[in-house]
Amino acid sequence: MTWREAAGSMPGMIALTSPRRLLGASAPLLLAVALTALITTSRAHAAEQLVASVPGADFDVGATPVVQTIAFDATVPISGVGFTARWTAVVADEENGLAPWSLDLAATITAPDGSSTLSWPRFGGDRTYADYPLQDYIAGFADVAGSGDFQWRFTSVGPPWVAGLRDVTYHLTTRVDNVVGTYPGSVASGPTWSRPYYIGGISGLGPVVYQATAFEVPVSGGYYFESVVAQGDHFLALYQDAFDPAQPLANLLDYEAGNGSSPNGPPRGTARISALLFAGRSYHLVASQWSASAPGQSYVTTVTGPAALILAGDDTLFADGFE
């Protein structure tokens, strides 16, 4: 999904005294040299912090919109929502692969008082009918009450195709100050893998160089990753719980092909991922060379969210230093 960049930030440099290692480097790289982080905060476009979660029943979406009424009891103003589920195709065009796609799922969410409605035209997903782990969020409410019934109206493509949502949980978020970290890296050399191709396939353009960064988040909420190379194509993937380069589809949470053709419209060389991440879970952000025939290059990844990342091997990282 697209993201409005933070503006008007007040920079504050963090002293990087702990060694942090990048997974996938040809030799271990100390963060003090390879991954200097600049952390800033901003109120211009606030981040979204998770404040409430309610599990829901599995359901299918076909020709008729499906309405789910979800009762929450949050005590803070609500500015956004989140949704986690496994998207699956119940009735699909298995011959041509034209529908339904996980990218087709949309929703309209109405606040308890009925005065505010949030349109969510695309949750995420991709252009296949393969199972997809939706774990997304969106802001847009003008600080509505968090206690009461939120109405979710889901739509997908028309008949005869049917999409299913399994292991469903609904979430509410509230706006907080942005925390922005900038992390440079390189895939010019290092170990190789065969990167994903969509959510359920393996690219034939490899093997290619990758660089993986293991991290956690101290605050649950919406996090946005933007990774940019100077020229050519780029690739970014996000894994939850574990990452094994020999099994590139295992635990794959989201990805983006930074070749200029992604549905959310970033330019060539830019890969963007936004996801609802949870404290206590482990994650891996993997930047990758696009193809074996195109030289790997340096990249810069900017991470925006309600808190700074905790990179593997470090103490908790706050906007004003380490603890």
List CB contacts of 95: < 8 A, sequence separation 6 or more: none
Per-residue confidence (pLDDT) for residue 24, from 0 to 100: 42
CA distances, 131 to each of 42, 79, 211, 237, 245 (Å): 36, 29, 26, 17, 20
Check if the beta carbon of residue 223 is closer than 8 Å to that of residue 303.
Answer: yes
Distance CA 194, CA 208 (A): 6
Distance CA 259, CA 255 (A): 12
Distance CA 129, CA 240 (A): 21
Check if the beta carbon of residue 308 is closer than 8 Å to that of residue 291.
Answer: no
Per-residue confidence (pLDDT) for residue 264, from 0 to 100: 58
Q: Where are the domains of the chain?
A: 10-46+178-322, 47-176
Per-residue confidence (pLDDT) for residue 57, from 0 to 100: 98
Per-residue confidence (pLDDT) for residue 228, from 0 to 100: 96
Per-residue confidence (pLDDT) for residue 72, from 0 to 100: 99
Per-residue confidence (pLDDT) for residue 257, from 0 to 100: 86
| pLDDT, one tens digit for every residue, the chain (323 residues) | 332 223 233 222 222 222 233 344 333 332 322 333 455 544 445 799 999 999 999 999 999 999 999 999 999 999 999 999 999 999 999 999 999 999 999 999 999 989 899 999 988 788 899 999 999 999 999 999 999 999 999 999 989 999 999 999 999 999 999 999 999 999 999 999 999 988 888 888 889 999 999 999 999 999 999 999 999 999 999 999 999 999 999 999 999 888 888 655 788 889 999 999 999 999 999 999 999 999 999 999 999 999 999 998 754 443 333 33
CB atoms within 10 A of CB 296: 24
47-176 shares the fold of 10-46+178-322:
yes
∠ CA 23-288-240, rounded to 5°:
60
Per-residue confidence (pLDDT) for residue 28, from 0 to 100: 31
What's the CATH fold of domain 10-46+178-322?
Jelly Rolls (2.60.120)
The pTM of this model reads 0.84
What top-level class would CATH report for the domain 47-176?
mainly beta
CA of residue 153 relative to chain centroid, distance: 23
Per-residue confidence (pLDDT) for residue 201, from 0 to 100: 87
